[in-house]
Amino acid sequence: MEVDTVQCIASMSKEANTIPADFIRSVDEQPGVTTFHGPVPDIPEIDLANTDRNQIIDEIAKASQKWGIFQIINHGIPPVAIQELQRVGKEFFELPQEEKEKVAMVPGRLEGYGSRITNKQQGTKNWADFLFHNIWPQSKINHGFWPKNPPDYRHVNEEYTRYMVPLVDQLLEYLSLGVGLDANVLKAASGGDELRFLLKINYYPPCPCPDLALGVPAHTDMSAITLLVPNQVHGLQVFKDDHWINARYIPNAIIVHIGDQIEILSNGKYKGVLHRSIVTKDETRISWPVFCEPPEDMVVGPLPQFVSDENPAKFKAKKYKDYQYCKLNKVPQ
């Protein structure tokens, strides 16, 4: 099956120095119009090597309440593990098209290689291709969607996962303690040991008209939390104080997004971050988010600790798969 990809369109568009009309965003979405260029605060940066654990917990809680996003340094994932993850992901997207299509998405599955432009849904198209596959727990991994080429792709991803799993545990513990819960509450309410880790590689090729297009439009993540590493090409924007602002690139940092499920569990105390991806004229941007999601049949709703007569539940409790269906199909929750 041949996959239409942005990578192919990008190479044709470069010569024409224009992009197809169905990639052009409405004026109120165009980054050339909507990006804020005045002085802005930086996304909070949190050092996990700080010897004052209570300070870390406090900083994470404040960042998650005010921003819904923060960057962590000294997080325990060795720089070489991040660099190798980036290397094999980049090498995969540089392979011939027929090689990439060996792991193409199949109908009804979220995993595999593809492009948003293959969706038949109406609306403006995103300047991005991607690869999705589960990396944890092992019972959810289908290696049929993991590239066989580059040959060390599997080893590198398993090594990265080995560090990612305890880091997520640590962050969920700090997020629990930060709002007065016992350390294990948010992890247990998000799926416990069945919490699913879904890796995505977003691939944004150079775009002749970056002021008019978006890699990914404004959204919050469906996950509990998302941990993302980008390459050095700038592109993440966050909506803060009614402005779209650029996220500062910090080498080897991991960007942590609060997702919808933690916002729901905390009854809105923690905020899911509204963010988007822009593209550039001359460089390829790549990012590696890991979405940490509850099992499909897990019911997620506001925790009783956060619901009272004065503060009623702001969200309906529902199975995660039903939440996913509503969000993906733009059905009211």
Q: Which residues are catalytic?
A: 200, 219, 221, 275
Take residue 236 and report the two structure tokens written for it. Answer: 């993440």
Query: Among the residues of 77-152, which ranges form H helices?
Result: 79-93, 97-100
d(CA 96, CA 152): 18
Q: Are strands 45-47 and 69-73 parallel, antiparallel or unpaired?
A: parallel
**Angle at 177 (CA atoms; ends 174, 179), nearest 5 degrees:** 115
Contact 271, 315 (CB under 8 A): no
Query: Among the residues of the chain, which ranges form H helices?
Result: 6-16, 31-34, 53-66, 79-93, 97-100, 153-178, 185-190, 260-265, 320-328
Amino acid at 191: G
Take residue 77 and report the two structure tokens written for it. Answer: 């994932």
d(CA 242, CA 227): 24
The values of phi and psi at residue 262, to 5°, are: -70, -35
Long-range residue pairs from 153-159, CB within 8 A, at least 24 positions apart, any chain? 153/88, 153/92, 156/81, 156/84, 156/85, 156/87, 156/88, 157/85, 157/88, 157/199, 159/81, 159/84
